Amino acid sequence: MGKRTRTKTVSNSNVALDDKICTRPDEEKDNVAVDRISSLPHEILCHIISFLPLVEAVRKCLLLKIFIPIFTYFSNLNFDDSSKKNSFHAESFMAFVETVLYRQERLNKLRISCHKSVNAHRLNLWIRHALYRKLKELDLVIDYKSKDFDLRATQGIFTCESLVALKLDLMYTKDFVLKVPNKIRLPNLKILHLKRIKFCSDDDLNRRLICSCSALEELVIEGCRFDNGCKFIISNDTLKRLTISYLNCFKGDHTIAIDARSLVYFDCGCIPKTFIPINLKSIVEAHVELLCCYDSSSGSSVIHSEAAIELFKGISEVQSLHLSGSFGTDFPNFIKQFPVLRKLTSLRVDAEFYIGWENILPDFLYCFPSVKSLAIKVNLSKMIDHIDDLPIPDKFPFYLSNQLKTVAFSSFEAGNKMQLQMVEYFLKYAKVLERLTVETRSRSMRPKSSLRRQFSKLSKVSKDCKVLVF
């Protein structure tokens, strides 16, 4: 009984103690809640508000007096007039931008996405104001209805010493041609993204812009248009990552020349008519997409094989390669010219085998004698299952048979004879294979169990190889 009484007493004491800690004397009398949020430092309040969408954050600042001083502490601003939740008319959008932007004491990142008719003069003023606040990241998405917008009118955008990242997406507005002043100086710019911009054949804009970025590390050229005969020159000693991608259909009658001695990653979305690799021996990882493009001289869709061969010769020191695209009737001739990539250890193939894998893959593997890891994804809709009992190819690269350790298949379909034969092919010839994995399209367990039974019956030259089905 004594223990129970002491325990109860201690418990009551704790309750009373907690009440004393959590309740102020005036609260006991007036039953008024304490406002602890307003006493928090501005930095913490800004962090809390940063989790809200910009429009909601501004509303909170205007409605709650305790947040009004925080209104000037937003360092990352994202204005988008296409937001579904907060739709704007052009004038109300511009007023909202100016209400928020012009109250900021400092800015780190500014993103403006305009899909309606916004006054070009006011847009330029916004950018100038942000640059004056030592802006570090500028992201512009402009779907403009007029040719009045000219980035040259925005004083300082191409001579801003504080800019670290610049992203321009001009959405083919009236075939918008990017124009920049003669003087360009961006000493601290590390990231440059140019999206949906038109480049003329008689302009050396790209060369001047890219050369003037003495600290550039990442360059993305996405969905841009090039005039016929345009020579796009990328020359930069500090560039480390380069991405060039296009639309599905584009005119490839242009030239791309790359001189980047520090480049370690290269993503080439489609092959131009002419490719000039000047200094690409430092590339470690690459993704090359062999897609068809429209050739104006022939009036048909082609893959520029000569340019592709020059590209692969230029990146001959690459160690990891992701190759995707269409492997059609001309691909066997393409393989005959393909250089041997002796340092390549990881290969990923995402292909459409129009003439059957057995007519392409065995010969193609001779170009990669040092590969240890191979991943294959096959587009079944493009495969031609024209022979039911096709024999397994009897050739396999000797060096590769003693190097290849892992093979992975994705988008595998149970019951497809061509893919089953591909699995049998590697199990038959890869002598040091340690693991072969198959990822199926089906989520059901039945086809996976069926595949496991089929694979268990196949002979394996490597006794230590494990076959896994997911």
Residue with tokens 């057995």: 358
Does residue 374 belong to any structural domain of this protein? no
Does residue 262 belong to any structural domain of this protein? no
Does residue 352 belong to any structural domain of this protein? no
pLDDT reported for residue 136: 95
Does residue 55 belong to any structural domain of this protein? yes
pLDDT reported for residue 406: 96
Does residue 69 belong to any structural domain of this protein? yes
List of residues 6+ apart from 392 with CB closer than 8 A: 421, 424, 425, 428
Domain limits for position 53: 39-74
pLDDT reported for residue 202: 58
Does residue 5 belong to any structural domain of this protein? no
- pLDDT tens, N- to C-terminus, the chain (470 residues): 444 444 443 333 333 333 333 444 554 445 555 666 666 676 676 666 666 666 666 666 655 555 555 556 678 888 888 764 555 677 888 888 888 888 887 889 999 988 766 787 888 889 989 998 899 999 998 876 545 566 655 668 888 999 999 998 877 555 566 777 778 889 999 999 998 887 776 557 777 888 889 999 999 998 887 776 778 889 999 999 999 987 544 555 788 899 999 999 999 987 888 889 988 999 999 999 886 554 445 444 456 678 889 999 999 999 999 998 877 777 888 888 999 999 999 999 998 777 778 888 888 999 999 999 999 987 755 555 555 566 788 889 888 899 999 999 988 877 778 888 889 999 999 999 999 999 988 778 888 888 888 888 888 999 899 999 88
Does residue 297 belong to any structural domain of this protein? no
Integer Rg of the chain from CA: 31
Amino acid, single-letter form, for residue 161? E
Does residue 31 belong to any structural domain of this protein? no
> How many separate domains does the chain show?
1
Torsions phi, psi for 327 (to 5 deg): -110, 95
Could you tell me the pTM of the whole model?
Answer: 0.81
